[in-house]
Amino acid sequence: MSKVLSERLARERLSRGWSQRQLARKIAEAAAEMGIPMPERTSLVKSIGNWEHGRRSPRAPYPMLLSRAFGIDYDALFGAAPKPPPSSPGDVLRLDCVESRFAADDDDRLRKDTVGAKASMLDEDEDMERRRLMREAAAAAVGGAVAPVLATLTDAWRSSEPRIPGATVSQEMIDDWEDAADIHVRRAYVDAPAVVLGGLAADFAGMAPHLARQQPDAVRRDLAHAAARHAALIAGKWFDLGHRREAHRWWKKARTLSERAEDTLLAAWLIGWEAAYRRQDPGEDLNAVLAVAQLARRLAGDRPSLPLVDNCGGEAQILAMLGRHDEAVAAWRVTEEVFDRLPSGAAAPDPGSMHYARSVIYTFVGDVKQATDAQSSTEGFYPPEHRTAILLAFHNAALQARANPAQGAQQALQIMERLPIERRDTRMKAAARIVLKVAPEESRNLPAVRELRALTANRSA
């Protein structure tokens, strides 16, 4: 299969923010609409991996189904690449047999590519350590009494799944870790950082022994992809908890794993996340963080995608924080243009994320109309306990502080005091500190301003 086509298929999937398993679901849905019989979902996920890594070309009816799943014209998807192998009408009815043969061929390839990989039990000492880590992590996430049960059942489920030949994991385990990353992202918006970190730790403890072992190339890439997402999320939660050293250690791990996954868009996304967190640390040099954001934007390339939208917007926010307001507004306009050029059918960013970024930029710039409009545009998107809703409330307090510092500071104090102690994390404090940054210099000794400064003091380690 041509490299052009394999890279195009991967870019189309990643630009929509889909995992391989999610694309398999989209293909299955398209097939159901057209009355085409399909193989097992696990086999289809494996085929997608083969297509994207150039080991196989999609055979009929998959080119048509891919076009339908992505919502783009067939020629736009396959036009500049060699056409997929021709097929006969009987191919559609023989899909199960074809996929079984492909799976067998792939299994042979994996066996040849693997030197000394173990497909059986992990070493006893490492297994005991992994169980301990999982129990401790699960205890933080779900409560001490349930933790041993969760660890035992999770281990039993993984042991029951057939391993990929030559590997120490099953496809179901890799898919489950990818799905888990999505769940952790959603939980991070409403749960305390320590709780989210507990769940992340339990999952990463399950992946870690397999990451340390030699795996077939395809397994190595897919496993690293899931692990990189977890590592970036772990870094973010350490940051929220005020542990700067641990956060940087895990951002470095996320970069290493994304390189192992050989996925440039994933690297662009995760490095963009890193910059988004680090810009909220008062101990960071914002110019150095800007360089990280610019690296993420370059890695995202020129083709419109979700990582490119996020990274252009992230760069604009850092410019605004640096006081380079004209550059920030110009960069934001580029972000909006990229967003408008996202391919038809591509997954859009979170509904409020564009409004949130616009609110950050114009709150620092001092454009009250634009900032207020951005904040009001998110109404109805988020429940009150959602992180984005709370951060936007701090932006509103900052707008108030420009005209009435005492009122703005008091509003920020009230928001912070309504938060449970465990949710008053680094990023919440950073959002509250915007009030202090935009308030007039002569207001620094007002009681409410002084109290807010004390409450949001940085204690990052």
Predicted confidence (pLDDT) per residue in 328-358, tens digit: 999 999 999 999 998 876 666 676 788 999 9
Give the separation between CA 165 and CA 65, rounded to whole angstroms. 28
Give the separation between CA 417 and CA 34, rounded to whole angstroms. 55
**Mean pLDDT of all residues in 346-375:** 87
Here the tokens at position 258 are 């994304």
Give the separation between CA 458 and CA 461, rounded to whole angstroms. 9
Q: Is the peptide bond before 61 cis (omega within 30 degrees of 0)?
A: yes
pLDDT band at 443 (very low <50, low <70, confident <90, very high): very high
Asked whether the predicted pLDDT for residue 122 surpasses 60, the reply is no
Looking at residue 105, its pLDDT comes to 40
> What does the mean pLDDT of the chain come to?
82
Three-point CA angle 410, 411, 413, nearest 5°: 65
Out of 4-18, 36-50, 65-79, 426-440, pick the least confident. 36-50
CA 433 to chain CA centroid, Å, is 26
**Mean pLDDT of all residues in 188-197:** 90
Looking at residue 371, its pLDDT comes to 94
* Spatial contact of 275 and 310, defined as CB atoms under 8 Å apart: no
Give the separation between CA 59 and CA 8, rounded to whole angstroms. 16
Here the tokens at position 323 are 């006081």
Asked whether the predicted pLDDT for residue 283 surpasses 80, the reply is yes
pLDDT band at 41 (very low <50, low <70, confident <90, very high): low
Nearest to 411 by CA among 430, 392, 394: 394
Q: What is the pTM of this model?
A: 0.69
Q: List the domain boundaries for the chain.
A: 3-113, 124-262, 350-461
Out of 247-256, 336-345, 421-430, pick the least confident. 336-345
Looking at residue 404, its pLDDT comes to 94
**Domain at 3-113: CATH code:** 1.10.260.40
Give the separation between CA 70 and CA 15, rounded to whole angstroms. 10
pLDDT band at 132 (very low <50, low <70, confident <90, very high): low
Looking at residue 25, its pLDDT comes to 86
Looking at residue 432, its pLDDT comes to 93
Give the separation between CA 127 and CA 134, rounded to whole angstroms. 10
Question: Coil, strand, or helix at residue 225?
Answer: helix
Look at 161 and 355; give whichever has higher pLDDT. 355
**Mean pLDDT of all residues in 268-274:** 96
Nearest to 357 by CA among 305, 317, 300, 401: 317
